[in-house]
Structure 1
């Protein structure tokens, strides 16, 4: 169990120290190994800090020696809870029973998850696990060691190379790695490789089939690049044409790049909310006021309680809401032009395959109007231009 949970169990208070020699008080307290943290000074000169309930009473002799005065601001932890619960006996008993119930429920297996199965059915894996005593609502202490479960499931389930069992809290994961089988290659019909668009061929590499074009040749959409027909009129063979053909293709883009950009920053204002997390649900316990920020971002940090190596299904969550301020900044037309071209280049490369490369670009038209820079740009892109087309032949061919 981490330090924050121990502090909550022992209890702590937030105190304000004023008057006297405050620095000497802090130094003496630390020398006597009193637990002080979150020490800060207010604008009025007072000191704020947190101290455990046990060390709070040890501060009194030091206050007299240094002439300081102390004021309690807030109280935290289980001892103060029990103080409030003295007048609410039934509520306190119910709370204790609730924690006992949560402990009992956390000792059960709630979920059994199977991953990695493809040809093997999930039901087959769950049936084998059930035979070994692994199933939902089983007591955790009745389960065999995870290594032993992995070994037994590997022997029980046919067609697996390895089975791993991992337990996290109330969830058990079974990961299956199936045995590899030779891949059945699909039966392909003879085909040509044809041009997907008008282009100038820059590179052609035929693995199978007969190339019909050479470098620097102009081709139109649908022209055969690599033929799947080999031989002559007397001896003809139909094959699956394979290879790679690249060519120069021209893409025309209309770009409108704004003369301002929006920059986001934090104002320093923020609101903190705390939640109690129980069984996957969060209940707010502080910070009930409305958010008065026009724009904001939210950060969440959840901490679940732990017991030994397991994670319990309850804990706390901190939510920090930060005010965001957006500022519009004017930019020069030259900068807007560069930004627009960069975005267009990225779009060209993304749309034309992983091997596409921009070889040249030419700005055909450019003007600035209505707060934007407008451009018409012609990109010369080297890209793959080959696609498959089935080869249809008659019985007499």
Structure 2
């Protein structure tokens, strides 16, 4: 029986029989239906055993008949714990107050988090949520269940296809999914595809319309690449020309690259600050008298108090401030040159489009002056050169 929840609930004691006939006591206890367990004998021949509190009081008449006397070795179970707690009233009241405060704090909604890449303005969503009572510091038991809240919020936001609300401890997570509307494409009028710059054609694929140039042809800005006029002179039709035209384009770029570079590095100096976080507010606990660094980086760690799956609205936050210093690194002429070329390539590819590829580069001029490397570079880039141009209605096809 030792260690069972029943014995712990009822309470039990460990008893030593100081004198009397132990064998007779055991027989009397068995006849009276009194349960004794873990019966053992000390080296001095004294019997020890465990007995529940109700059976302990029923044991007294048997002890008188056996001429025995007992000594309580230890007391265990809920009744004794409650008695000890009653003697420590301040502690008991404090613990009860803590439990009550914890229950009250965990019954509030402390944080409302909005998730989902919605195109609906956040202010409009927040207003709809406030109208349904989905706001911080709200008594959670006064809110309907999450399914009902989601239905109400969906009615408030007709642009949303689906609204999901999930309660995570003391937080509400609202997920908005926009309704997908068919993309409305603008009406297209018949057009040509023309060259946006001088180039040499490397590839042409006409999806709609009639190709007017071939590979290796040299074209000038404004030349028709794919015509929107198909058919012959008698039977022709104007269409929206579509396709892909790639060409080699030459870009002459002047690059100025400094022979110094600024670098940030850590000095090893650190400062730590700790905060008590309650809701969305933080109260600083330490790190008041530290001198601020001239330049630094701050790393923040927040730990919320969690009770099983419940995230409570308070916790701690630690800030680690790392001192940094800015130094100047001197570059060789070759290093500055390569840094300038790399930056120029990156900017050129961004400007020329996603499919652009640098085929060649040629340094036309190079000099060093005033701590800088100055370059004039000719880049050969394969890129898309076609742009649409609306067709002007004419009586003949010469306007292609």
User: Closer, same or farther in 2 for the Cα pair 1:282/1:159, shift >3 Å?
Assistant: closer
Matched residue, 1:390: 390
Please list the CA deviations of residues 37-61 of structure 1 after superposition, one character each: whole Å capped at 9, or x if unmatched: xxxxxxxxxxxxxxxxxxxxxxxxx
Three-state SS of the structure 2 residue aligned to 1:312 is strand
Contact between 1:195 and 1:219, CA under 8 Å: does it hold in 2? yes
Matched residue, 1:380: 380
Could you tell me how far apart the structure 2 residues matched to 1:116 and 1:370 are? Answer: 50
Question: Structure 1 residue 165: deviation in Å?
Answer: 2.7
Three-state SS of the structure 2 residue aligned to 1:334 is helix
Aligned residues: 300
User: Closer, same or farther in 2 for the Cα pair 1:178/1:255, shift >3 Å?
Assistant: closer
User: Closer, same or farther in 2 for the Cα pair 1:318/1:373, shift >3 Å?
Assistant: same
Question: Structure 1 residue 203: deviation in Å?
Answer: 0.9
More divergent stretch after superposition (240-249 vs 156-165): 156-165
Residue 174 of structure 1 pairs with residue 174 of structure 2: yes
Please list the CA deviations of residues 190-224 of structure 1 after superposition, one character each: whole Å capped at 9, or x if unmatched: 11111111111111111001111111112222221
Question: Structure 1 residue 310: deviation in Å?
Answer: 2.7
Question: Structure 1 residue 294: deviation in Å?
Answer: 2.9
Could you tell me how far apart the structure 1 residues matched to 2:223 and 2:173 are? Answer: 54
Question: Structure 1 residue 375: deviation in Å?
Answer: 0.8
Could you tell me how far apart the structure 2 residues matched to 1:283 and 1:112 are? Answer: 22
1:109-120 counterparts in 2 under 5 A? 109=109, 111=112, 113=114, 115=116
Q: TM-score, normalised by structure 1?
A: 0.64
Matched residue, 1:312: 312
Matched residue, 1:365: 365
Could you tell me how far apart the structure 2 residues matched to 1:103 and 1:118 are? Answer: 38
Could you tell me how far apart the structure 2 residues matched to 1:330 and 1:160 are? Answer: 56
Three-state SS of the structure 2 residue aligned to 1:315 is strand
Question: Structure 1 residue 335: deviation in Å?
Answer: 1.7
Residue 355 of structure 1 pairs with residue 355 of structure 2: yes
Question: Structure 1 residue 361: deviation in Å?
Answer: 0.5
Question: Structure 1 residue 387: deviation in Å?
Answer: 1.1
Three-state SS of the structure 2 residue aligned to 1:262 is strand
Q: TM-score, normalised by structure 2?
A: 0.63
Three-state SS of the structure 1 residue aligned to 2:316 is strand
Residue 321 of structure 1 pairs with residue 311 of structure 2: no
Question: Structure 1 residue 177: deviation in Å?
Answer: 4.0
Question: Structure 1 residue 356: deviation in Å?
Answer: 0.6
Residue 237 of structure 1 pairs with residue 237 of structure 2: yes
Contact between 2:128 and 2:153, CA under 8 Å: does it hold in 1? no
Task: Indicate the structure (1 or 2) with the bigger Cα radius of gyration.
Answer: 2
Three-state SS of the structure 2 residue aligned to 1:291 is coil
Matched residue, 1:334: 334
Matched residue, 2:222: 222
Could you tell me how far apart the structure 2 residues matched to 1:291 and 1:115 are? Answer: 42
User: Closer, same or farther in 2 for the Cα pair 1:99/1:221, shift >3 Å?
Assistant: farther
Matched residue, 2:257: 257
Question: Structure 1 residue 289: deviation in Å?
Answer: 2.3
User: Closer, same or farther in 2 for the Cα pair 1:114/1:254, shift >3 Å?
Assistant: closer
Three-state SS of the structure 1 residue aligned to 2:364 is strand
Could you tell me how far apart the structure 2 residues matched to 1:112 and 1:324 are? Answer: 35
Could you tell me how far apart the structure 2 residues matched to 1:310 and 1:161 are? Answer: 30
Three-state SS of the structure 1 residue aligned to 2:302 is strand
**Structure 1 alignment gaps of length 5 or more:** 1-85, 87-92
More divergent stretch after superposition (213-222 vs 349-358): 213-222
Three-state SS of the structure 2 residue aligned to 1:104 is helix
Residue 208 of structure 1 pairs with residue 233 of structure 2: no
1:23-172 counterparts in 2 under 5 A? 104-109=104-109, 111=112, 113=114, 115=116, 135-136=134-135, 139-141=139-141, 163-172=163-172
Please list the CA deviations of residues 226-254 of structure 1 after superposition, one character each: whole Å capped at 9, or x if unmatched: 11111122212111111111111111211
Matched residue, 1:190: 190
Three-state SS of the structure 1 residue aligned to 2:108 is coil
Matched residue, 1:266: 266
More divergent stretch after superposition (255-264 vs 360-369): 255-264
Over the aligned positions, Cα root-mean-square deviation in angstroms equals 4.0
Three-state SS of the structure 1 residue aligned to 2:319 is strand
